[in-house]
Each structure stands twice: as structure tokens, then as C-alpha cells.
């Protein structure tokens, strides 16, 4: 399911002959218990996790003291209810994915989340960054997410392997091929351009392919898989 967040639950439900709602509820329970650490893609796409207040209930149970402190911050109280809820959702997802306690989160943890959120067309949650700065875990970081992104261009450049693995694709010969190809491009390309190529090749191409067909092992795409990918990249207009 982590490799194919949109289709994996349906496939597992059919394989086990268990209702999707029941199965999704069970998976969400495992996540809240910190027994599994799903990808951000899964947490973005899981209706059960999002509609049942999964993120918020996780935060309240996992970090009750820090959550109370966070909600008492002036930055939190000034925020609109929706913005506050989205910020808490973002922090909860980061805690789930990293397996860390709230006080151990780093700027890199939050930047990695915000990059994937941006790539997935979800809000980057600027308030989440500002709350963590005020609360203490990111006290030594720039005061805003925008400033942190600017600083990251020069001080937090990732390796090619990290640029590929940030999208949660599984180990495979294709993953290795993508890393080798990007390594060849790296000496003759600025970091921003390299990051853009990695996004298009890994997130928009290969991550989508294995979401469509989790069993895909190479670049010899069956016609139906290729057709589904093209449809995702260029959906029909109403």
C-alpha cells in the first residue's frame, strides 16, 4: 500500500476479501499506535486517516503535553481554525513518518515534508513551521518556512540518492538507473534544475507507474499501464 497508496488498499481488500472501510480503519489504528510508518503519499490519500481526525487524534495521544503547549502559543491562537488544523495535521504526519518525538524534529524533517506536500499539491503548512520554531524544536531555524526554503537552496542541498528516495519509491533496478542518470547530469546542472529533473522523472513518472502497477519491475511498460500514465499526466478536460 505504501508503494501504491491509491490502488494498494483496493488490491489488498480484494485479496483478503475484507471491506475497504474496515481494512482502512485497521491500518489507521496501526498508524496511530506507531506500529507502522507509512509514506506521506499514503497519509495524503487515506480517507479513513483524514476523515476520522486520524492526524489530530494521533497528536493528542502521542504528544499530549506538547500539543497543549502548542495550542497555547500566540501564533496558534491568531490562526484561522482551518489553518490551525492543517498545521496540526502536518506535524502529526511528520511525527508518524519519522518515528520521532515532537521535541526531536529538525528543520530537515519539516522541509522534506513540505517538499513532498508541494509536489503532491498539498499545502506546505507555513504555520506548522512557525509553531515548531516558537515551541522550541526549530528554535535555531529561520522564523518562517519561506525563509527556511531560501536558506536550504545553499545550505541543505541533498545528494542525488536523497532526491530520488524522498518520493518513497521502492528499491529496484529502475531506481538505481535513475540515480546513475542523475549523477551523470549533476556536474553540468545547477541544483534547482537537477531537483526539477528528479521530480519529473521520479515523482511524475516512476512513482506514478508503480502506483498504477505495483508489480512493474522495469521500463518495459505494458500498453495499458502506459495509457493510464498518459491519462494521469494529461487528464481529459471537461
Of residues 71 and 235, which shows the higher confidence score? 71
Query: Are 66 and 138 within one domain?
Result: yes
Q: What is the pLDDT of residues 92-122, one digit of tens each?
A: 999 999 999 999 999 889 988 888 887 666 6
Query: Are 23 and 61 within one domain?
Result: no
Nearest to 197 by CA among 221, 179, 210: 179
Domain extent at residue 178: 160-233
Query: Are 35 and 72 within one domain?
Result: no
Query: Are 34 and 7 within one domain?
Result: yes
Query: Are 128 and 168 within one domain?
Result: no
Q: Does 48 score more than 70 pLDDT?
A: no
Residue in the structure block whose three cell numbers are 485479496 = 15
Residues 44, 77, 146, CA angle at the centre, nearest 5°? 55
Query: Are 65 and 132 within one domain?
Result: yes
Residue in the structure block whose three cell numbers are 500514465 = 229
36-45, 70-79, 89-98, 197-206: which has the minimum mean pLDDT? 36-45
Q: What is the pLDDT of residue 230?
A: 92
Q: What is the pLDDT of residues 139-194, one digit of tens each?
A: 888 888 888 777 765 555 678 898 898 888 889 999 999 999 999 998 888 887 88
Q: Does 35 score more than 60 pLDDT?
A: yes
Q: What is the pLDDT of residue 147?
A: 82
Q: How many domains does the chain have?
A: 3
Of residues 123 and 238, which shows the higher confidence score? 123
Side-chain half-sphere exposure of 149, counting CA atoms within 13 A: 13
Of residues 96 and 29, which shows the higher confidence score? 96
- What is the C-alpha separation between 47 and 53, in angstroms, rounded? 10
Query: Are 185 and 133 within one domain?
Result: no
Q: What is the pLDDT of residue 59?
A: 86
Query: Are 114 and 88 within one domain?
Result: yes
Q: What is the pLDDT of residue 238?
A: 43
Q: What is the pLDDT of residue 44?
A: 82
Task: Note whether residue 238 is domain-resident.
Answer: no
- What is the C-alpha separation between 203 and 106, in angstroms, rounded? 24
Query: Are 3 and 42 within one domain?
Result: yes
Residue ranges in 191-222 assigned as alpha helix (H): 191-198, 207-212
CB-count exposure of residue 79 (10 Å: 0-12, 13-18, 19+) = middle
Q: What is the pLDDT of residue 124?
A: 61
- Express as a percent the part of the chain with pLDDT over 70: 78
Residue in the structure block whose three cell numbers are 526539477 = 196
Query: Are 22 and 65 within one domain?
Result: no
Q: Does 33 score more than 90 pLDDT?
A: no
Amino acid at each position: 500500500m505504501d508503494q501504491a497508496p491509491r490502488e494498494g488498499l483496493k488490491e489488498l481488500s480484494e485479496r483478503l476479501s475484507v471491506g475497504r472501510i474496515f481494512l482502512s480503519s485497521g491500518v489507521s489504528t496501526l498508524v496511530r499506535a506507531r506500529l507502522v510508518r507509512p509514506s506521506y503519499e499514503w497519509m495524503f490519500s487515506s480517507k479513513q486517516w483524514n476523515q476520522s481526525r486520524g492526524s489530530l487524534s494521533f497528536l493528542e495521544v502521542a504528544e499530549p503535553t506538547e500539543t497543549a503547549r502548542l495550542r497555547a502559543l500566540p501564533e496558534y491562537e491568531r490562526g484561522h481554525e482551518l489553518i490551525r488544523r492543517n498545521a496540526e495535521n502536518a506535524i502529526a504526519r511528520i511525527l508518524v513518518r519519522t518515528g520521532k518525538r515532537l521535541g526531536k524534529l529538525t528543520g530537515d524533517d519539516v522541509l522534506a515534508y513540505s517538499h513532498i506536500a508541494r509536489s503532491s499539491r498539498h499545502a506546505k503548512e507555513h504555520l506548522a513551521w512557525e509553531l515548531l520554531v516558537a515551541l522550541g524544536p526549530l528554535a535555531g531555524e529561520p522564523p518562517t518556512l519561506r525563509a527556511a526554503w531560501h536558506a536550504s537552496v545553499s545550505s541543505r542541498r541533498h545528494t542525488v540518492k536523497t532526491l530520488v528516495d524522498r518520493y518513497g519509491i521502492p528499491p529496484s533496478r529502475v531506481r538505481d538507473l535513475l540515480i546513475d542518470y542523475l549523477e551523470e547530469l549533476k556536474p553540468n546542472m545547477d541544483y534547482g534544475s537537477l531537483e526539477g529533473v528528479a521530480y519529473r522523472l521520479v515523482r511524475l513518472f516512476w512513482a506514478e507507474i508503480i502506483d498504477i502497477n505495483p508489480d512493474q519491475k522495469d521500463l518495459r511498460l505494458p500498453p495499458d499501464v502506459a495509457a493510464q500514465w498518459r491519462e494521469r499526466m494529461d487528464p481529459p478536460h471537461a
